[in-house]
Amino acid sequence: MKHLPRVLVVEDESAIAELIAVNLRHNGFKPVLAEDGAAAQRELDAVLPDVVLLDWMLPGQSGLQLARKWRADPRTKPVPILMLTARGDEPDKVAGLDAGADDYITKPFSPQELLARIRAVLRRRAPEQVADGVVLGGLELDAGTRRASWHGEPLKLGPAEFKLLHYLMKHAERVHSRAQLLDKLWGDHVCIEERTVDVHVKRLREALGAASPMLETVRGVGYRLTAQGELLK
């Protein structure tokens, strides 16, 4: 039997939740509905979904609090989170990304846009398959097994950060603008903003720890991964 991607919809407005569920079912997804954080946690504890649609404003714990909580849990950390929000201002969008969301969609939205964004985060979740690994200084990465390490110590990376590190390691020493990174890594997603790259770079730096000096910001241009930065650790 074909696997239907499981989508956990955390939305307290039943009319919106049902509308989303109908569109998901008609397009090859398996929706699971939860009206608040407690119900969502029960569903997550039972079966991990392929993606979470998480409303910002919820009774009890907010979507931001839940995103931070699930990103801090090793079991739920890899699950993509798409934030549903009526807040369209950039600081609010950035707050959602900083909390751990992979993307956001502002209400009201069309079913077509929602489906496109879900498919995009699922595509980005799948690691790029390569026959061999990539090594840069003390950094080692194997996209086939989705493992990365720094001098033999495993690195804990989210799906987007892993893909970003993989690309930067394959194209080391080059400076990449935000627009170039968007095109190469998120080219299937026409609505995403350049500020999103900064958020994922910030997360990648935090995950790299002692290796973070290797990821350089070139002021006014973009980012570069360089073995020279290892000398600064």
Tell me the per-residue pLDDT of 93-148, one tens digit each, with 9 for 90 and over. 677 677 778 888 888 888 888 998 898 888 776 544 444 578 888 899 988 778 89
Question: Is the pLDDT confidence value at 161 over 60?
Answer: yes
Residues contacting 35, CB < 8 A, separation 6+: 10, 11, 12, 14, 17, 59
CATH 1.10.10.10, the chain: domain bounds: 134-232
Fold of 6-125: Rossmann fold (3.40.50)
Are the CB atoms for 169 and 134 separated by under 8 Å?
yes
Please write the tens of the pLDDT for every residue from 193-213.
Answer: 777 888 899 999 999 999 999
Please write the tens of the pLDDT for every residue from 169-195.
Answer: 988 889 999 888 887 777 655 556 777
Question: Is the pLDDT confidence value at 232 over 50?
Answer: no
Question: Which pLDDT value is given to residue 123?
Answer: 79
Rounded to 5°, angle at Cα 103 from 97 and 104: 90
Question: Which pLDDT value is given to residue 233?
Answer: 43
Rounded to 5°, angle at Cα 95 from 92 and 100: 135
Looking at the DSSP bridge assignments, the partners of residue 224 are 216
Tell me the CATH architecture of domain 134-232. Answer: Orthogonal Bundle (1.10)
Question: Which pLDDT value is given to residue 90?
Answer: 60
Least confident of 9-13, 165-169, 224-228: 224-228
Q: 230 or 117: whose pLDDT is higher?
A: 117
Nearest Cα residue to 215 out of 154, 160, 182, 167? 167
Question: Is the pLDDT confidence value at 34 over 90?
Answer: yes
CATH 3.40.50.2300, the chain: domain bounds: 6-125
